[in-house]
Amino acid sequence: MRIRVTLTWLRIVIGLLACLVAAVAGALLIAWTGLYSLAASHGHPGWMTSFLEFGKRRSIIANTRDLNVPDLDDPNLIRLGAAHFDAGCAVCHGAPGRPVTPVFEAMLPVPPPLSERAQDWSPEELHWVVRHGLQFTGMPGWSGEDRDDEVWAMVAFLRALSDLTPAAYGQLAAGNAPQETADVDALVTAGPASLPMAACAKCHGSESAPPTSDLVPILSGQSPAALEIALNDYRSGARESGFMEPVAGQLSEDRIGAIAAYLSSRESLAYAGTEATDPDAIARGRELARRGDGDRLAACDSCHGGSARADYPRLNGQSAVYIRAQLQLWKEGGRAVTPHGRLMAEITDDLSEGQITDIAAYYASQPVFQYGAAVSPAGGEE
Ligand code: HEC
Ligand code: HEC
Ligand code: HEC
C-alpha cells in the first residue's frame, strides 16, 4: 500500500518535471527561431499588455511598505522636485504643455503623462516606483541609492502636478534661475541645452536669487577645493544623491575645476530666512559651534570656521533645513563613504536632536561665507 502511494507520487512528480522541461525547451525554441518578435514598433499582443499591467500593479501594491510620509505640501519638497522633474523625468513623461517627445513615444510601454496617472497611486506607492523603477518598462530607479529621503521631493511634486497649468509648471521648474526667453542665436548654434533650464542656478540660486528650496545648499563663496571635492564625490557615486549624481556625471574633471573656480568667486544672495528662528536656540548653537560641549564634541568652527582648512565646507549662511537634513543623513548611515564623510559621521554620532536644531539655527543666522573675501592680496588663503 505504502509502496503504491509512493509510486503514484513519483509518477506525478516525473510527469510535472517532464512538462516543465518541455515548456522551457518550447520557450527556448520560440526565442531561438525569433518567432516572437521583440520589436518595440510591433506593440505587445493584448494578453501581454494586460499581463504586464497586472504584474506592475501587483508588484507596486505588494512591495509598498508603511513609511513615515513627510508633509507633502511643503514647498521646499515641491520646488526641488519640480526642478529635477524637468531635467530628469519630463524627457520621457512630458510635462504640462509639453507632450511626450516622439523618441520616447516610440518606447514600449510608452511613458505615460503623469498629471493624471500619478493620482492613481498613494504617496507610499509613488515613493516605491520612483525609488526602485519598473523592470521591463524602461522606468529607471532613483540614481542616489539609499537616498529614500530625496525621493519624497519627487512624490510631493507628482502629487501637485495635476493642478499645474503650463505657465505655473514652467515657473516652478525653472526654479530661481532668471527665466530669459531663449536667444534665437543661442538656440540655433548651441541648441536647447543653452536654456536656463539646464543650469545649476535654477536649483542653487545666484547673485540675484536664493536657492529654489531650503533643501538645496548655497554654493557661491565656498572654496574651490570644497566644491571640487563635492562634485567629484557625486561624480564617482561616493556621495549619493539622485539630484546631483546625474548632474555631476556629465561634467569632466576640467569642467568641475572651472565651475568650482567660478562659483567660488561669486557672491550669493542669503536666504530670506524661511524659518522662524528662536534666539535662545541660536545662542545655544553659537556656543556649540565655537566651543563644543566641553566634553566629547569638538567646536564645529575648528573645521568649519573662517580660518579652517580650505577644503572643508563652510556652514555660515546655509539654510537650517539643509544643515539638519545632512546631519540627519549622517546619523542614518549615509554620506559616510569618503574620508571627509567618515570624519563627520563620527561627530554626528555624538550629536543629539536638540543640538542639531540649535547648531543649524545658529549657522543659518550668520551672513553667507565668502571665500574670495578671505583670500589675502598676496594670494595666500585666509
Ligand atoms: C527613460 C524614460 C523614463 C524616465 C527618464 C522616467 N520614466 Fe517614469 N516611466 C517610464 C515608463 C516606460 C513607465 C512605465 C509605463 C507603463 O508601465 O505603462 C514609467 C512609469 C512611471 C510611473 C508609474 C506610472 C504608472 O501608473 O504606470 C511613475 C510614477 C513614474 N514613471 C515617475 C517618474 C519620475 C518621477 C521620473 C523622474 C525621476 C521618471 N518617471 C523618469 C519611463 C521613464
Ligand atoms: C535639480 C536641482 C539641482 C541642480 C540642477 C543642481 N543641483 Fe547641486 N545640489 C542639489 C541638491 C538637492 C544638493 C544636496 C544633495 C545632497 O543631499 O547631497 C546639491 C548639492 C550640490 C553640491 C554640494 C554642496 C555642499 O555644500 O556639499 C555641489 C558642489 C553642487 N550641488 C553643485 C552643482 C552644480 C555645479 C550644478 C550645475 C552643473 C548643480 N549642482 C545643479 C540640487 C541641484
Ligand atoms: C574635524 C573636522 C570637523 C569638525 C570638528 C566638524 N566637521 Fe562638519 N564637516 C567636516 C568635513 C571634512 C565635511 C565635508 C564632508 C564631506 O565632504 O562629505 C563636513 C561637512 C559638514 C556638513 C555638510 C556641509 C555641506 O555643505 O554639505 C555639515 C552640516 C557639518 N559638517 C556640520 C558640522 C557640525 C554641526 C559640527 C559640530 C558639531 C561639525 N560639522 C564639526 C569636518 C568637520
Asked if residues 324 and 217 have their Cβ atoms less than 8 Å apart, the reply is: no
Ligand 2 centre from 244 Cα, in Å?
Answer: 5
Nearest residue (by CA) to ligand 3, atom 40, is 300
Nearest residue (by CA) to ligand 3, atom 41, is 300
CB of 118 closer than 6 A to ligand 1? yes
Mutate to test the pocket of ligand 1, among 60, 121, 131, 134 (most ligand atoms within 8 A of CB): 134
Ligand 2 centre from 190 Cα, in Å?
Answer: 24
Residue 207 is placed in which grid cell?
A: 547673485
The span from the CA of 122 to the CA of 64, in Å, is: 10
Query: Cβ–Cβ contacts within 10 Å for residue 183, how many?
Result: 12
pLDDT at position 206 is: 84
Phi, psi at 334, each rounded to 5°: -80, 170
pLDDT at position 3 is: 73
Asked if residues 156 and 78 have their Cβ atoms less than 8 Å apart, the reply is: yes
Give the gyration radius of the chain's Cα atoms: 26
Residue 321 is placed in which grid cell?
A: 533645513
The span from the CA of 215 to the CA of 175, in Å, is: 13
Length of the chain in terms of residues written: 382
The span from the CA of 210 to the CA of 271, in Å, is: 6
pLDDT at position 197 is: 44
Query: Cβ–Cβ contacts within 10 Å for residue 231, how many?
Result: 23
Asked if residues 271 and 210 have their Cβ atoms less than 8 Å apart, the reply is: yes
The span from the CA of 239 to the CA of 225, in Å, is: 16
Which residue numbers in the chain have pLDDT < 70?
A: 1-2, 178-182, 186-187, 189-198, 270-274, 372-382
Residue 168 is placed in which grid cell?
A: 505655473
The span from the CA of 331 to the CA of 344, in Å, is: 10
pLDDT at position 375 is: 44
pLDDT at position 129 is: 97
CB of 218 closer than 6 A to ligand 2? no
- Judged by its nearest atom, the ligand closest to the C-alpha of residue 321 is 3
- Judged by its nearest atom, the ligand closest to the C-alpha of residue 44 is 1
pLDDT at position 182 is: 64
Q: Which ligand 3 atom is the nearest neighbour of the CA of 222? A: 26
Mutate to test the pocket of ligand 3, among 303, 316, 355 (most ligand atoms within 8 A of CB): 303
Nearest residue (by CA) to ligand 3, atom 6, is 300
The span from the CA of 381 to the CA of 362, in Å, is: 25
Asked if residues 123 and 192 have their Cβ atoms less than 8 Å apart, the reply is: no
Ligand 2 centre from 255 Cα, in Å?
Answer: 15
